[in-house]
Structure 1
Amino acid sequence: MRFWQKTLLVMLTLFIVTLDFSVVMIMKKSWQLNMEREVQRASSEQALIANNIYENLNSIRSRGMTINETVLYDVASSYAEYYKHQGITLQLWNQDKVVFSEDAVKSNSSNNSEENASQDEQNVRGVTISNRMPAPYEYLSLTYERDIEELYARQNELNRYFIYINLIAVPILVTLLYVLIKQLTKPLRQLSNTTKNIADGDYGQRVSLKNNDEFGELAKNFNRMAEAVEQHITELSTMAEEKQRIVDNLAHELRTPLTSMQGFAQYLNAANIGEEERMTASGYIWSETLRLKNLVFKLLDLSVLSHQPIERKHVSVEQLFESVRKTELHQLEQAGINLVLHTDIDCVWGDEDLLASFLVNCIENAIHVSSEGSIIRLLAYEENAKTILEVQDYGRGMSADHVEHVFEPFYRVDNARSREHGGAGLGLSLCRQIASAHQAELELKSEERIGTRIRMILQLPNIELLTS
């Protein structure tokens, strides 16, 4: 049974039981009050009639007449006739003998009873009061009986009306409760459908509820959870794709040098080769070994940056630039390229080795794409309250499509030139990791046949925060 059905059944049962019980208790109390009122009325009327008969008997006696059964009969019959049309029946008893009785009802009322109220539901429904007459007529007793069949008829009519109201009200109540509960549980159905869609893989599903109640709060929290789940799933999918791409590219990168090394090793094992051929084969094996070593070191650097926080300190920009210049001096002289250094700031906050690695990778990429006689600029300056480290070249540049993917691992703009220089396409990917470790922005702008500019943008406020 569904939740809304259980709620409907429980609410309907509770409502009907509570309402019916309340109405029955009210009707019972009303009946009790009506009966007490009828008894009080009968008692008052009986006392009034008894007093009138008493006055009449005293009047007759004062005139010197004898009070016999004939006189008693005449007095009682006069009053009985008067009250007959009001549904009242009178009986006058002389001890155990009936002096006057309007009907043939036989009663065994006790002469010693002070007051008796009874209801006979099998015969005539009425209220009967029997009391002795005042002295000196205490040997007489007057029995008063009042028909209350009309009261029973009204009560039965009220009972039938109550049943009719139940028969009409219950279907209406069921309909109203059904509509109300379906409307109240609508948010639960929306949540259920949304969770089902998310479970089926549609992580973009959200619950659109504008309620300002608990359901609205639940919907907001659910949407926050769904967004977090979607974000994590997206991140996991991206990481999985990236890892798979790295594995595929790594396998491809390893296959080429290993195949070359295997071939040249077999060539060296040949019996009849000259010294020149041996030197050539050894040179190829050496160059491929260096390329594999560079590839492994780059991958290790990327792994370390991904899992370990860096230790930052003040780094002298002048010493940093001089260290990078010395590292790249040999390659710059071989390529016939001039490195121009310019700095407007004294120091930066970061890891000196990683910053040097960032600049070295950028300069090496710039050397590979620059022609002989070109220049490469290495700059450090402040801009909009931020520290900028910039490497600028005037080489071949690249298109917007290449710029979009250039930071991906193993991505090469020119495969032939990258392999020629021993590159694996990991340099700029490492630069991105270094920038991320420094909580810095990385910006690359390039135009074909004009050049490329790459900038690491460090936040100046971080220096004061970290040094305090």
Structure 2
Amino acid sequence: MRISWKLLLSTVVLVACALAVGSFFLIQSSFQSSLARETRRALEENLLLAQAFDLAYAMERGEGESVEKETVLTIMRQIQEGTSANLYLADAQGAVLYSTMRPAIALPAEGTRRWQLCSTAAGSVVQVATSLETNGAAFSFLTEHSVQAVFAARAEQFSASRLYNTCILTAAALATLLFTHLFTRPVRRLQLAAQRMQKGDYAVRVPQTGGDELSALAGSFNAMAQSVQGNVEKITQSAQRQEEFVANFAHEIKTPLTSIIGYADLLRAQALTPEKAFVAANYIFTEGKRLEALSLKLLDLIVAGRQNFLRKKTSSAQLAQAVRAAVQVPLAQRNMALALDVQDAVLLLEPDLFQTLLINLIDNARKASEDGGAIALLGRAEGDFYCFSVRDEGRGIPEAELGKITEAFYMVDKSRSRAQNGAGLGLALCDRIVKLHGGTMEFASALGAGTTVTVRVPFAGEGGRRRRR
């Protein structure tokens, strides 16, 4: 659901609840006030009519005389003519003397007065009952006062309130829809700009107006877009430079290689005079130097992306022990162990990087081996170089794949590598580390017979040397 619709729905619900609750309490308060007022009128009316009956009855009876029933009826009819209330009169024994109503309230005890809100066929009424004693005669005098108008007024107020609330709610919904459309316009602009960036338009920017949070968000988006655009431009320029370099290198190498091959074939196939042999050899030498310069440019391109690091004097034996400790757990999970046969020597290395190199090689050996397979780490000095070798008895690598395995993302067995969380980056990283140390990495493998990876690094002058025993 869009945010504008969420805001609209939330506002409509809140306004509807507020209007409903407010209208209910306002109307109910007015109703209670009107009902209380009509109840007071009913009580006052009952009191006045009861007093009128008491006075008229006393005048008719006199001293010790009895009043006929017809006289009582005449008095009640006269009182009835002067009021809109319904009347009811009963004697002390409960016999009805006069009635224009059906009592729903219990007759009062002697000397008491009571009232009750009742619902009749004619509507809602307030019935008031008063106990009278006139010259020794006891009566129950009841009046019935209609309050149906109060209930009808409340019903009309509720109907009008529903109509007014509907109009107010509609107006609030339209206003909210308009305001949310205006308020979310910066968000929609950001969304459209993000979609354009997703499609490759990194020059897109969002207008920044005002000083609220959305304006700050637009500013942050523009700053991010500027940074992304700058980085993309740098990457694009770098790619263009690489493409230009490759194209130039291919163009420059084509002709001299043809000449070199031709002169070399000439020297090999014919017996030339010393002068001609010198010319041919000199051309080969000159073009070879030019190709060397081009290759150095390519090397500069590769090295420009590396990070500087500090080499330290490192014991090869201690390094091997650290590597074994690092791989002990994953090897043990597959019932493997790392066999060490490392001649101790002091090497000039970046120990963390070189340890990463050896761990990667051993991990590849682990993945290529069956459970319980043997893996060995060997170390020997060979002239001015020190050689580390990682040997396994695993599946081996096809000869056709040996030249590709140090490429980034390349995997010999993709299903197996992915199943073991491989991404094809390990040997590419190893190759880069070896090159950073000025060494070489060689692969010797046969299908079903295992693989041996040999890394040769120089002792690097006085910094590294063989350890004499």
For the residues of structure 1 that align with 2:300 and 2:235, how far apart are their CA atoms? 22
Deviations 1:400-441 (A, max 9, x none): xxxxxxxxxxxxxxxxxxxxxxxxxxxxxxxxxxxxxxxxxx
Could you tell me how far 1:117 is from its partner in structure 2?
Answer: 1.1
Within 5 Å, which residues of 2 pair with 1:186-335? Answer: 186-301=185-300, 303-304=302-303, 306-308=305-307
Could you tell me how far 1:121 is from its partner in structure 2?
Answer: 4.5
Count of matched residue pairs: 306
Matched with 2:439 is: none
> Structure 2 counterpart of 1:273, which letter?
L
Structure 1 gaps of 5+ residues are: 312-468
Residues 125 and 147, structure 2, Cα contact 8 Å, conserved in 1: yes
Within 5 Å, which residues of 2 pair with 1:76-91? Answer: 76-83=76-83, 87-91=84-88
Matched with 1:94 is: 91
Within 5 Å, which residues of 2 pair with 1:30-429? Answer: 30-58=30-58, 66-83=66-83, 87-95=84-92, 96-101=94-99, 103=100, 105-107=101-103, 110-112=106-108, 114-134=113-133, 139-301=138-300, 303-304=302-303, 306-308=305-307
Deviations 1:286-306 (A, max 9, x none): 222222333334544565455
| Rg larger in structure | 1
For the residues of structure 2 that align with 1:137 and 1:185, how far apart are their CA atoms? 86
Residues 129 and 144, structure 1, Cα contact 8 Å, conserved in 2: yes
Could you tell me how far 1:59 is from its partner in structure 2?
Answer: 5.5
Deviations 1:138-181 (A, max 9, x none): 62011111122322332232122123224433432332222122
> Structure 1 counterpart of 2:87, which letter?
L
CA RMSD of aligned residues (A): 2.9
Residues 132 and 138, structure 1, Cα contact 8 Å, conserved in 2: no
Residues 90 and 144, structure 1, Cα contact 8 Å, conserved in 2: yes
> Structure 2 counterpart of 1:91, which letter?
Y
TM-score w.r.t. the length of structure 1 is 0.58
Could you tell me how far 1:309 is from its partner in structure 2?
Answer: 5.3
Q: Aligned residues: percent identity?
A: 25
Could you tell me how far 1:239 is from its partner in structure 2?
Answer: 0.6
- Out of 289-298 and 213-222, give the one that drifted further: 289-298
Q: Secondary structure at the match of 2:114?
A: coil
Could you tell me how far 1:39 is from its partner in structure 2?
Answer: 1.9
Matched with 1:345 is: none
CA separation of 1:215 and 1:134: change in aligned 2, threshold 3 A: farther
For the residues of structure 1 that align with 2:205 and 2:136, how far apart are their CA atoms? 96
Could you tell me how far 1:71 is from its partner in structure 2?
Answer: 4.4
Structure 2 gaps of 5+ residues are: 311-469
Deviations 1:14-62 (A, max 9, x none): 3223322331243234323322332232123212332343345455666
CA separation of 1:60 and 1:196: change in aligned 2, threshold 3 A: same
For the residues of structure 2 that align with 1:245 and 1:121, how far apart are their CA atoms? 102
Could you tell me how far 1:195 is from its partner in structure 2?
Answer: 0.9
- Out of 232-241 and 140-149, give the one that drifted further: 140-149
For the residues of structure 1 that align with 2:208 and 2:292, how far apart are their CA atoms? 58
For the residues of structure 1 that align with 2:279 and 2:58, how far apart are their CA atoms? 163
> Structure 1 counterpart of 2:160, which letter?
Y
Matched with 1:2 is: 2
Matched with 1:318 is: none
Could you tell me how far 1:224 is from its partner in structure 2?
Answer: 1.3
Residues 39 and 117, structure 1, Cα contact 8 Å, conserved in 2: no
